[in-house]
Amino acid sequence: MTTATKQAANLPELVEYAAQNWPQRVAMHFDPEGTVITFAELAGAVRGAAAGLRELGIGPGDRVALLLPNVVEFPIAWLATTRLGAAMVPVNVYLGESDLRSLLVDARPSAIIVSTESAGKLAPLLAELGQPQVVLVGAGEQDEVSGTRWERLTSASGQPERRVFPEAVANIQYTSGSTGTPKGCLLSHAYWMELAQVLIDHGPRLTGADVLLTAQPFYYMDPQWNLVGALHTGAKLVVLDRFHPRSFWESVRRHRVTFFYCLGVMPTLLLKTEPSGQERDNLVRYIACSALPTDRHRELEERFGAPWHELYGSTELGLVTMVEPAEHDATVGTGALGRPMPNLEVRIVDDSGQPVPRGSVGNLLVRGARVTYGYFGDDAATEAAFRGGWYDTGDLVHQDEADLLYFHGRTKDIIRRSGENIAAVQLESVLEQHAEVALAACVPVPDELRGEEIQAFVVARGSRPAAELVPELIEFAQRNLAYFKVPRYWVLRDRLPLTASEKIAKKELREAAAGRQDPGYDRVSQLWFG
């Protein structure tokens, strides 16, 4: 069998590898629930769940959807599914009926493992889905959906033996949908093996002495690659139920965490919390982050006393670049994303697909062993995502003479106003410097004269009236931005919609702006609307 990494060729082998090498070490600690499971206990639970799924008829090529929060049953079910040669389909527990139907109809699972709290969502869908097997997790009672209880499933005996090749699909990981309709990325066992090996050989260089922490939901990528890293090294993974900005550093300190990944709006929300004298009292040696505002990088390090390292990746690609510890000091605040990881090639091209000169901004293309096979059941989307074997990220970057990449925004997150290309991320970074702005998001609004105008959505700290705050924000923007970058439309909201990956859901905001769904202020006409 082909060896995907030094430890194992696939996820089932990796589970057994960890159990044999560190049987009594804690593999995962779920907080605040309190569940603790060792590597040996994890392997036993995975074997039992796999035997139970096999009795339900699950086998190679099948798909098993998981509709679960951050509970220990999630990783057990994922790893058990892959042991049978089937693929796991993680599902966001907060999806509404329409989105849930769309995803499940697309994925066509043979079984759905669901918490009793979420089971009611399936009732109107099961007939349309062809009556898949249902496994219920949790002590709660519900009358809308019947199925096999998790406890009964995992009591099955037997050692299901399946030869699982590294090239087999382990996940159909639906994208978060920040750029459009979610699509199911086909991710192989080799994808996960090589991704973990990168974390061992580069960047944080994980070891068994580390304590990892994740605050993201398990239906997203981050807890999954953290777990695979722990299985490779014998490190412990702490799984929070969700991200709690005010108590986050207390959790880091209490669990003696040495590594975590902080993405999306999380760094900004941490900076918005009240400072504490204990924040710097931690053992963290490497914080991985993505798209960190360059002007907040040093502030984060000085306040929390730990090094923050940029990385760049995606569901389709895994980790593409990481800043190495030796390069950290020189890259703080520069926006450097690191160098491309082994087994991946990058090209930076213009709109016609031709390579741009070194130092020039262009569209990033990537190819290599870790790249997704494509999108489940969607040949058109797969074809559109690749250019002659190169995956088109849709991200604008440049590469310096030292081969470091720098992010300049997304091609689909660029506002084109009067012929000027304006990166929304830059505007948002400036607006979030205002003391009374917790979060900001800027999107384009169609405009007959200028092509597109800019609408700013702002979540304010405190409760000042919009009539007072908005003029102050406009003045602040005019002081800090070029005139053509100052948003025309301003909307205050209590919160901004987020994707499962804790990114601002720009697609939803673009639709809201185009449909004038929120009351706001027009800077040009100086009138309030809505």
- Give per-residue pLDDT as tens, 476-509: 999 988 888 999 999 999 999 988 777 899 989 9
Give the contacts of 132 (CB within 8 A, at least 6 positions apart): 65, 109, 110, 111, 112, 126
The helix or strand, by DSSP H or E, that contains position 268, with its residue range, turns out to be: helix 266-272
3-state helix, strand, coil in the chain (%, to 5): 30, 30, 40
- The answer to whether 90 and 220 have CB atoms below 8 angstroms apart is yes
Query: Confidence band (pLDDT; 50, 70, 90) for 99?
Result: confident
**What is residue 411's DSSP assignment?**
G
Query: Confidence band (pLDDT; 50, 70, 90) for 2?
Result: very low
How many helical (H) and strand (E) elements, i.e. helices and strands, does the chain have?
A: 15, 28
> What is the pLDDT at residue 114?
98
Domain with CATH 3.40.50.980 in the chain: 34-187
Give the contacts of 515 (CB within 8 A, at least 6 positions apart): none
Query: What number does CATH give the domain 243-411?
Result: 3.40.50.12780
Q: Which CATH fold would you assign to the domain 34-187?
A: Rossmann fold (3.40.50)
- The answer to whether 402 and 336 have CB atoms below 8 angstroms apart is no
Position of tokens 């830059």?
A: 426
Cα separation, 188 vs 208, whole angstroms: 25
SS3 98: helix
Question: Can you tell me the mean pLDDT for 285-300?
Answer: 92
Q: Which residue has the higher pLDDT, 5 or 42?
A: 42
Question: Can you tell me the mean pLDDT for 289-301?
Answer: 90
CATH class of 418-529: alpha beta
Give pLDDT tens digits for 347-362.
Answer: 999 989 999 999 999 9
Domain with CATH 3.40.50.12780 in the chain: 243-411
Cα separation, 472 vs 461, whole angstroms: 14
411 pLDDT more than 90: no
- Percentage of the chain modeled with pLDDT above 70: 97
10 pLDDT more than 90: yes
Domain with CATH 3.30.300.30 in the chain: 418-529
**What is residue 119's DSSP assignment?**
G
Report CA-CA distances (Å) from 93 to 52, 70, 131, 155: 23, 10, 20, 26
